[in-house]
Amino acid sequence: MASFLIQRAINSVGVPRTISRYLSSAAAVAAANQTTAEADSSSIFAFNDGAEDKIHIKSPMPHTTKLSSFGDSSVTMPLSFMTGSIVGKRFYKQVTTREADDGVGWSVMLDYRTLKTPSKRPLKLPTPGLAKAIAAEWEYQQTDGIRPFTMPLMKLACTALERVPITRPKIIQHLMMKFNQDLVFCRAPEDNELTSSVHERQVEKIDPLLDWVSSEFGFKPVVYSSFFGGKQEDGLVHAVENLLKRTDDCELAAIDAMASAAHSLVIAIALFHGRLQIEEAIELIRLEEDLQVDKWGLVEGGHDVDIADLRVQISSAAVFLGLSRRN
pLDDT at 44: 23
Q: Strands 113-116, 74-76: parallel, antiparallel or unpaired by DSSP?
A: parallel
pLDDT at 133: 97
pLDDT at 182: 95
Question: With a cut of 70, which residues of the chain have pLDDT below it?
Answer: 1-75, 77-84, 227
Equal CATH topology for 35-146 and 158-324: no
Q: How far is CA 206 from CA 46, 50, 280, 314, 315, in A?
A: 50, 49, 10, 18, 20
This prediction has a pTM of 0.78
pLDDT at 67: 43
pLDDT at 81: 62
pLDDT at 29: 45
Name the helix (H) or strand (E) containing 132: helix 128-139
Q: CB under 8 Å to 280, separation ≥6 — which residues?
A: none
Render pLDDT for 116-153 as a digit per residue (tens, 0 to 9): 888 888 899 999 999 999 999 999 899 888 888 899 99
Continuous H helices in 163-233: 164-177, 196-205, 207-217
Do 250 and 317 form a contact (C-beta atoms < 8 A)?
no
Correct CATH for 35-146 of 3.60.70.12, 3.40.50.9100, 3.30.2180.10, 2.30.30.100: 3.30.2180.10
**Which 3 state secondary structure label does DSSP give 206?**
coil
Cα three-residue angle 56-58-59, rounded to 5 degrees: 140
Domain residue limits, the chain: 35-146, 158-324
CATH class of 158-324: mainly alpha
Residue type, 35: T
Residue type, 109: M
Q: CB under 8 Å to 173, separation ≥6 — which residues?
A: none
Residue type, 148: P
Query: Considering just the CA atoms, what is the radius of gyration of the chain in Å?
Result: 22
pLDDT at 118: 85
Sheet with 95-99, edge to edge strand ranges: 56-58, 74-76, 113-116, 106-110, 95-99
Q: CB under 8 Å to 263, separation ≥6 — which residues?
A: 182, 183, 285
Q: How far apart are CA 282 and CA 271, in angstroms?
A: 11
